[in-house]
Structure 1
Amino acid sequence: MEDTLKKSTVGLVRLEEFQQRRKELEEAKAREAARTNELKDEQRKVKKRKKVAKSTLSFAIDDEEPDTGADTPSSKGEDADEEKPSKRSKLGKNPNVDTSFLPDRQREEEERRQREELRQEWLRKQEEMKNEDIEITYSYWDGSGHRKSVTCKKGDDIATFLEKCRQQFPELRGVSVDNLMYVKEDLIIPAHYTFYDFIVNKARGKSGPLFNFDVHDDVRLLADASVEKDESHAGKVVERSWYQRNKHIFPASRWEVYDPEKAYGKYTIA
């Protein structure tokens, strides 16, 4: 019986110790949770202060208020919160600061629109120029000249011009355009070039400008041929077979294929 009572007493003591220990652990957890909440609140306050400080940055420089010395420490503390919102409302972009270098979508769009309008206007004028008529004076050359003229568009290529020339001479009607050559200022002009190409680029050849196609007297007989002039010679329409037979004889010996990258220098006709 006594052993049973002793065991019961020991059990009660251990139960009380367990409950006391459990209570202490719960109180320790509560204190730890409170400290954690305090740290979180402090971190939120720091972030808020940083955000407020960042939002007040501006190009504007507020004029400093003169210190009259009339405010007492207590009154300054009371009015501080009321003055802050009014000062923030004054902050903004300083109109005296040059910001033209900064991105501006509206300005960039306006500039892009103006560039496109100018481009379209330039293209329209070029198309109008290509559709203008031009009279081409030429000589069918078979060892001697047979001068005629034909009307083309400035945008026509040399092949179109040669086809019109072919129709003007019965002896050429059986010759294909591929077997004809156009020689201008001692240069053989490939058939894919247009008259517009030479006019707009003010191109020149070995003995005169390539952009004039009307009737002029031979400048080599009138003046110093080494001096560049607007006067030009009538171009020559030649059969390719004639050129192959006579390319070693003057004037064919001077002819060469036109190269837009080559500078032909001064006109040097002896």
Structure 2
Amino acid sequence: MGDFQANFQRPDTGINTVEGNVAGSRAATLSKKRAAEQASFEARKQKIKADSERGKLGIDAKFDTNTNVSKEEQKFREQTVGLVSAAEFKRANAEIEKARSKRGEDEFDDGVEGVDGGTSITEEELKRLEKDRKKARKKALKEKKKRMAALSFAGDEELEDDETNGADEPSDGKESNDKQSTKEDKGIMKNPSVDTSFLPDQGREQRAKEERNRLRREWLDRQKTMKEEVLEITYSYWDGTGHRRTVHCKKGDTVAQFLELVRKDLAKEFREMCNVSSDALLYVKEDLIIPQDISFYDLIATRARGKSGPLFNFDVHDDVRLGALDARVEKDESHPGKVVERRWYDRNKHIFPASRWEPYDPAKEYGTYTIHGGEVTKKKN
């Protein structure tokens, strides 16, 4: 009995249990399930590993810009990656040049051995290859000329270069080639009846530029000549009554220069003019106070108009209303300009005629001339 108990063994289920066969069956089921899960885990692990290796190869292929580099070049790149000194770079470059020269000598020796072995090309084959190459070149040139013949302005320079290169090569049918090239040249001639004025032309543009410069110089010379012409201006020194005078100045002079001449002329008769400057004087023409920086040439060139007459005419009429008036024709009769002191104007600007005066604005349109006698009215725009 004791031996039986000592030698008793449970049925081998592959599971180490102490609860008996029922518990062993359940443990076996769990063990199989665990084994299946382990196998599935190993399979997924292998798949992930394979995908990782494949992805790495794909990335290397993507960023490899040149797959046809030689071994020497690849080795040189690996040795010079990153920051290297000049000595290391030169040493690596010398090594790759040495390897390249050695590889070239080996290939040359192999080629010589191949020729000696009976693989050399005969002279007839060389001539045939040269002839085929010429035919292919002529055919390509002919196709190119046909494509460009549709345009009236073909690339003559390129065609001439191709023909020059072809002429350097020896050919057997020289006369026939000359005839063919002559016919093709006739087919690509430019059309003389085409209007080319819209195309850029350096010569035409240069001539137009020279003509503009010539006209500009001519206009400047004419302006200079006109500004040097002497102008006789009749003015009236106005201090409540008129004192008519005449002064000569140039057309290019400004109103300030004109007022300085007037001041010197009036100082001979009016003592108060000795103690004032030209800045204290005003020049009033056709009820407009002319700024001192405007020249008489500007008024004449622009044919400026005032409120009661033109500003570009300096002759004198007693009254612009005298004589027959034609509304269709602009009158050039004007009043003599008035020269007044600024302080007199400040004291009397509310009294006629100073009440009609206003500063001149070149950009303003004053319309038709208006003249009011002793009545002061505001002009309606």
TM-score (norm 2): 0.51
Structure 2 residue 232 is matched with structure 1 residue 135: yes
Displacement of 1:264 in angstroms is: 0.6
Quote the residue 2:359 is aligned against: 257
Equivalent residue letter for 2:152: F
Quote the residue 1:156 is aligned against: 253
Displacement of 1:53 in angstroms is: 4.4
Match of 1:101 among 186, 198, 201: 198
Alpha-carbon distance between aligned partners in 1 of 2:326 and 2:352, rounded to the nearest angstrom: 17
Alpha-carbon distance between aligned partners in 2 of 1:111 and 1:122, rounded to the nearest angstrom: 16
Secondary structure at the aligned position of 1:166 is classed as helix
* Structure 1: gaps spanning 5 or more residues: 1-40, 61-78
Displacement of 1:88 in angstroms is: 1.5
Higher-Rg member (1/2): 2
Secondary structure at the aligned position of 1:192 is classed as coil
Quote the residue 1:237 is aligned against: 339
Structure 2 residue 301 is matched with structure 1 residue 200: yes
Alpha-carbon distance between aligned partners in 2 of 1:213 and 1:47, rounded to the nearest angstrom: 82
Maintained 8 Å contact 1:154/1:196: yes
Displacement of 1:144 in angstroms is: 0.4
Change beyond 3 A, Cα 1:172–1:223: farther
Quote the residue 2:212 is aligned against: 115
Maintained 8 Å contact 1:184/1:236: yes
Displacement of 1:131 in angstroms is: 0.3
Quote the residue 2:284 is aligned against: 183
Structure 2 residue 304 is matched with structure 1 residue 211: no
Query: Relative contact order, CA 8 A, sep 6+: which one is greater?
Result: 1
Quote the residue 1:84 is aligned against: 180
Equivalent residue letter for 2:360: Y
Equivalent residue letter for 2:183: K
Identity %: 59
Structure 2 residue 241 is matched with structure 1 residue 144: yes
Q: What is the total number of aligned residue pairs between the two structures?
A: 214
Secondary structure at the aligned position of 1:86 is classed as helix
Quote the residue 1:59 is aligned against: 152
Alpha-carbon distance between aligned partners in 1 of 2:350 and 2:258, rounded to the nearest angstrom: 27
Equivalent residue letter for 2:276: V
Change beyond 3 A, Cα 1:232–1:163: same
Alpha-carbon distance between aligned partners in 2 of 1:193 and 1:122, rounded to the nearest angstrom: 20
Maintained 8 Å contact 1:214/1:234: yes
Maintained 8 Å contact 1:225/1:267: no
Q: Deviations over 1:170-207 (max 9, x none)?
A: 33121111110000000000100000000000001000
Cα RMSD of the aligned pairs, angstroms, is 3.0
Secondary structure at the aligned position of 1:219 is classed as coil
Displacement of 1:100 in angstroms is: 1.7
Quote the residue 2:371 is aligned against: 269
Alpha-carbon distance between aligned partners in 2 of 1:255 and 1:99, rounded to the nearest angstrom: 59
* Structure 2: gaps spanning 5 or more residues: 1-132, 154-174, 373-381
Equivalent residue letter for 1:147: R
Displacement of 1:214 in angstroms is: 2.1
Alpha-carbon distance between aligned partners in 2 of 1:258 and 1:223, rounded to the nearest angstrom: 29
Alpha-carbon distance between aligned partners in 1 of 2:217 and 2:273, rounded to the nearest angstrom: 42
Change beyond 3 A, Cα 1:223–1:234: farther
Maintained 8 Å contact 1:179/1:240: yes
Alpha-carbon distance between aligned partners in 2 of 1:257 and 1:102, rounded to the nearest angstrom: 52
Change beyond 3 A, Cα 1:256–1:222: farther
Displacement of 1:84 in angstroms is: 3.2
Alpha-carbon distance between aligned partners in 2 of 1:225 and 1:238, rounded to the nearest angstrom: 33
TM-score (norm 1): 0.71
Secondary structure at the aligned position of 1:211 is classed as coil
Q: Deviations over 1:5-62 (max 9, x none)?
A: xxxxxxxxxxxxxxxxxxxxxxxxxxxxxxxxxxxx9xx96976664545555428xx
